[in-house]
Each structure stands twice: as C-alpha cells, then as structure tokens.
Structure 1
C-alpha cells in the first residue's frame, strides 16, 4: 500500500518539525516554502523598499524570551558550549538549519514556492495550487494538509480618527528593524506586549522621548531570577500539581522578591497568568528613572502633530509605532475550515475553532501546527502537535466524533473566558505541560509519575531516579516527551535530562546517540 501523501505549508519551526514527524511515521511528505530559505519568522529580512512588506517580524536586536534548554525540539538538544542561555535570532536560524541538516529534511522542501489555494475534493482529499517563482502554477493532490505558516504575518493596525492627517510617521512593529532611524525623535508606542516593551527599551538610547500607551498595562518578568533562568522555577511540580491559585500567588511573590513591586502605572488589574506576560530585564528600571513614560489610557484620535488619549493627554510626537498584534489568517485556505463566523463565546476574529487547537471537527485531515500562545517556547509545542497530528493520519490516534470534538472546542473557549483576559490576543492560549501531556497521552508518550516510578524497578534505579527528579524538579526540557510511547528515544532522552540536571555540556555519548538517531 502506497504511503499517504501530505502537504506541509510553511518551512518555519512548525513546518520543519511537522516534516520530520511525518517522515518518521512513513508518510510521503513535501514542504512548500514561499521564501528562498527555511526558518519562517526566524529568517530575518528587511521590508521591501517600495511596499514596506515583510513576511518576518524579526528585528535586528531580537533576543529569545525563552531559555535555551526549553526552546529546542525534544530529540535535538541545543549545545550549551555553542549557545548562551538566551541568544539572538541569527543563532536560532542556525539551530533550525542544523536541525534540517541533521535529519536530512532539505530534499523534501520546495523553496520559492507559494501555495495559492487549497480545496477539498468530494472524496475528502485536497488539491493544492502552488507556484514556484518564475514557473507556471501547478495543482497537486494530497491525503492531508498541514498549515504551518504561523500567526505573525498579517499585522493588525488600528484605525483611529485623524490618522490620515498625522504629519509624522505611523508604522506597525512588524516592519521595525533597528533604532537608528528614530534618533532624536519623539516616539509613542501603542500596546504593551513583547514587541512594545522590546522596542521601547531599544529606543531609549537614541530617541528624544519614548512614550508607551496602554489601557491594561501588564506584568513584566525578568529573564533571570536569583541567577537562574526564570523558566527553571516553572517545573512540572509547579505547573501540573500546584493548584492554579497557589501557583499564581507563588509566581507573584517570586517576581516581587526578584525585581520589587511593579510600578503602579503598569500594574494590571488581572493576575500574572491571566494574560500573556512579557519577558524583559530593563523596562521597569527605564520607567522608574523616567526614560520611558507610560500613559495608562486608550487612544482617542490623531491630530496633525500629536496623539490624543481618552483621558485628555496630548502627546506631541514624531513617530507612532503600533504594537497591536496580528490577524489570525491563512489566505490559502477557506476561512470556514478553521473559523466559525460570529463565534458566540470568544467573539473574536482571531478565534480558531479547532479540536485541541490542531484539527477542525469538520475537516479531520486538515491540521494547524503552531497556532498557539503560551508563556514559553513554541518549538516543543509545535513538535507535540505534529507528532499527534501525524499519528492521526497514520491511524495511531483515533479522533472522537465530530460532535464530541465540537463540544470540547466550546468547552475550551468557555474556559478561556474565565481564566484569561478576554481579548483578540487570548484566543489560543495554552500552558506547556498540561497541553503537551494531553496531546501525547494519545501516543502513550506523556511522562506520568507511574511510568517514571516503574523505571526504578525495570532499569538502573539510580539513573531512573535521576530522570524522575529531572522531569519533576528540573527545567521543562522537551526531552521528557521522548522517554515513553510512540516515537520514544529513551536513551537519548535520559542522557539529555540528566545532563541538564547536572548543568554540564553535551557529552560524547549524547552526541553519539543523536547521530545514531538521525541515521535510523
């Protein structure tokens, strides 16, 4: 029987891990990537000089907000001898290129090939219309499709009264690249997410004034707490066993101890995990010393020379940068494949009506990989989604009925309205461990306490105890999801977990296990 054919749209972090997992499951897979190289958002590009268009939102000074040892795939750890704990976007692209090379993915990737449309055939298969640069359009048929183009490509720019009359410059953070062009200017940033905070801190040394305009404020957490990456405190014990209210309290107290009380001007009404948090080490200091001025109000209108807020404040500025997020859009797919119009629960155009945020109850062979928000790295989550979804295609994972999937979609969305601030930004939020556990349980790959305990009596008890301790008390390494079940690589996983717990570099044994894995 011929292997099922699958099309993967997008050659970024989600598309690469999807390709690798599909190949591991014996599928006939191809990646369509519109640009001239892999990496997706992590492949830096300057906006077009005439159109100002750009696929990538990465700016020159980007440093990862998540730590090295959590920001990797489960079977391809990052070598601490080569990468610092937090590193630049260029190093992340290096990692992705090394990943593709290590597992021999390049020959399955069609670069400079844009997918124009996908439509379902009467028999349930899909047609994909694609066009290689400089060539004619082609139409191919596939048993399943994986959408992996991410949700940071289509900027959401607000439409305020008077914007067209403003004589200064208005841009979206999506096309910001470096601070030098704003030297000596008065700049206002609308928004308080990661981009707004990063850009404000980049602009402080060069701009004449830096203003941040925010209605809700937000929580800022540092990259390091007591000399350790902040993620090291959010281990499996904290994330899966502590009650939510206690976890909120502990994290708030830890932040107060590490960086002091939040300035009242940015302190939000919501609790620390009820909205997307922002990781940065300098903003609070810049606010306290007056380098960044925060205005807790919405925007009313623009004049020719200023930005007027709803509280009456008028900011005389030269530049306004809209750090206002993105539309959830996949123009190559019919909208009804992933979005229910006029969703009665979340009431947002960014709602994805997908079971486990991966598959539509109405289109069980169409998958969406990487369309999530979480306080942590995307890579291991996208990998878990890809393992689960490829398991569906091969029959290893059985989906519930369409009605049951729809019920669970509504239940998830209703729960979001109770646990998160209701906004267009909070429609696909998950927490790393509970979410990945729920996916990989269908492959018997979740590292339950019972399974880890069983290893104490079926293998070297000292090593098994070290692994158990690393899984529950160590940093949340994705390697824990290779200990058991389908796709397991227990020797490599144990070597990675115990090495991270010991705080040492990758050993020759671990490198050998990685090389042997790539050859198998």
Structure 2
C-alpha cells in the first residue's frame, strides 16, 4: 500500500488480532471495509479506542440495532421473490432452478444437480419428460414431504442425501455396475474388492466418478481409502 512505510505506529493484519485490551486508549486506523475490518472496528470502538475506517470508496454503514433490538429480528416477513419491476425489465426466468436442502451433505447434492443441469442443456442426457408428467412427479414429491414434515415453509423441497444422489446417478448413468466390471473397472480382480468397499461403506460423492460422464482416474483409490480410513481429500 502506497505510503504505508511512512506510518510509524504498529501495523498488524486482521488475522493476527486476538483481543481489544492491548489497543485501549489508542488511535486505531483500520484500512479496508470488509467483514473483518468492520468487525474489528465495532469491537475496538467499545474499548475506549478512537477508531477510523479507511476505504477507497464511500460506503453506507447501517446499525445492527433498531429500537433496541437486532435489526434482523425486525425483518421477519421476507418473501423469496424478485420484485415485479425487476422481473419485467431485467430478468427472464426460463425454468425453475433451486438447490434442494438435504438431510446430509449439501455439496454432493449441489454437484449432482449441476451435472444433471449441464447434461440436460448440452444434450448429453435424454430430453426432459413432458411438462404434465414432471408436474405430476413434483406434486407426488410435495405430498410425500408434507406427510413427513407437515406444511412447514422450510421443508418444501427437502431431500435425503443418499437416495437423492442415487436417483440422480441413475438418470445420469453414473452408478457403477460391477457385474460389467471387465468393461468398466479393470482388471476384474481389482473390481471385486472395489464393489465390496463401495457397497459396504457409507455413500461418498467420489463413487459417482467411477464411471460415466465425469470419470476420474483417482476415484477407485479414493473409494478404497474412504472405506478403510474415512473420507480423504482428492489427491
């Protein structure tokens, strides 16, 4: 930062900040206006510090409090819809797309949804069914969710992690068929232990990279490692 070398006071990065008492009764300039900068400014300002926020552009800073209560406690009637003016002038909604909240890990489900969407848009997957058939399937799913959770606005599209991924994997042809091991996972003597570990361990996202679109050469070893030691990051 230009001119920083001329500053004679103590300089620290926000990652090294621990507690405010050592800055008591000091003038503290904070450079930047990100989350860390604003959090530090709030905490230091309550510790008899003179705090100055420095930013390259002007910003509005809203109080977290309204009439003695946190501001978000007052904002309780949100409707998750774009304003009509925005819809009419700037945004065209071509189809309904949403991230299903799972009982389980969210990232594997999001990945499967992305692969399904891309496969559909690029023509690598069969065309979608007729609208009437899809609407009937949606109503069936919503009825099942209502029976399970009641009419709760939070659980309108709740899904279970493992069954949902299996269903998406079937559509996308990602489920390994170990009885075709000679064609899909070679050699055969290595595919049988893989089938054992795959079927006998908890579901893991990497199993959907064993075959089909998105095939990954390291998927087999990751499935083995997952079954024996627990989840490992991709190598």
TM-score by structure 2 length?
A: 0.60
Q: Which residue of 211, 214, 229 corresponds with 1:487?
A: 214
| 2:150 equivalent to 1:421 | yes
Please give the alpha-carbon distance, in whole angstroms, between the structure 1 residues aligned to 2:142 and 2:231.
42
Within 2, Cα distance between the matches of 1:421 and 1:463?
47
Aligned CA RMSD, in angstroms, stands at: 3.7
Partner of 1:382: 110
Q: Secondary structure at the match of 2:61?
A: coil
Partner of 1:498: 224
Q: Which has the higher strand share?
A: 1
CA distance in 1 between partners of 2:191 and 2:76 (Å): 47
Q: Structure 1 pair 381/445, CA: closer, same or farther in 2 (3 Å)?
A: same
| Higher-Rg member (1/2) | 2
498 and 472 in structure 1: CA distance in 2 versus 1, 3 angstrom threshold: same
CA distance in 2, matches of 1:470, 1:333: 50
Secondary structure in 1 aligned to 2:218? helix
Partner of 1:439: 168
**Structure in which a larger fraction of residues adopt helix:** 2
| Partners of 1:325 and 1:425 within 8 A in 2 | no
Q: State whether residues 373 and 430 of structure 1, in contact with CA within 8 Å, keep that contact through their aligned partners in structure 2.
A: yes
Asked if the contact 1:467–1:497 (Cα under 8 Å) also holds between the matched residues in 2, the reply is yes
Corresponding residue number in structure 2 for 1:475: 202
Secondary structure of the residue that 2:154 maps to in structure 1?
A: coil
Residue in 2 that maps onto 1:464: 191
How far, CA to CA, are the matches of 2:170 and 2:137 in structure 1? Answer: 17
1:394 and 2:122 correspond: yes
CA contact (8 A) 1:376 1:432 kept: yes
Query: For residues 493 and 170 of structure 1, do their structure 2 counterparts lie closer, same or farther at Cα, with a shift above 3 Å needed?
Result: same
Q: 2:31 matched to which residue of 1?
A: none
Q: Is 1:374–1:430's contact at 8 Å kept on the other side of the alignment?
A: yes
| Residue of structure 1 in register with 2:61 after alignment | 50
What's the offset of the Cα at 1:387?
0.7
Q: Tell me if the contact between 1:467 and 1:494 (Cα under 8 Å) persists in the aligned partners.
A: yes
Aligned ranges for residues 236-385 of structure 1 at < 5 Å?
A: 327-329=79-81, 363=94, 366=95, 368=97, 371-385=99-113
Distance in 2 of aligned mates of 1:325 and 1:467: 51
Larger RCO, structures 1/2 (Cα 8 Å, 6+ apart): 1
1:454 aligns with 2:180: yes
Q: Does the CA-based 8 Å contact 1:446-1:484 persist in structure 2?
A: yes
CA 1:430–1:501: 2 relative to 1, 3 Å: same
Instruction: Please give the secondary structure, in 2, of the residue aligned with 1:411.
Output: helix
Q: For residues 63 and 173 of structure 2, what CA distance do their matches in structure 1 show?
A: 47
Structure 1 unpaired stretches of 5+: 1-42, 54-163, 173-320, 339-362, 512-520
Indicate if the aligned counterparts of 2:198 and 2:227 stay in contact, CA closer than 8 A: no
3-state SS of paired residue (2:191): helix
The alpha carbon displacement at 1:483 in A equals: 1.2
* Kept after mapping to 2: 8 A contact 1:470/1:498: yes
400 and 487 in structure 1: CA distance in 2 versus 1, 3 angstrom threshold: same
- Find the aligned partners of 2:147 and 2:223 in 1 and give their Cα distance: 35
CA distance in 1, matches of 2:100, 2:178: 29
> Which digits, 9 at most, give the CA deviation of each residue in 1:101-136, with x for residues without a partner?
xxxxxxxxxxxxxxxxxxxxxxxxxxxxxxxxxxxx
Give distance in 2, aligned partners of 1:325 and 1:469. 50
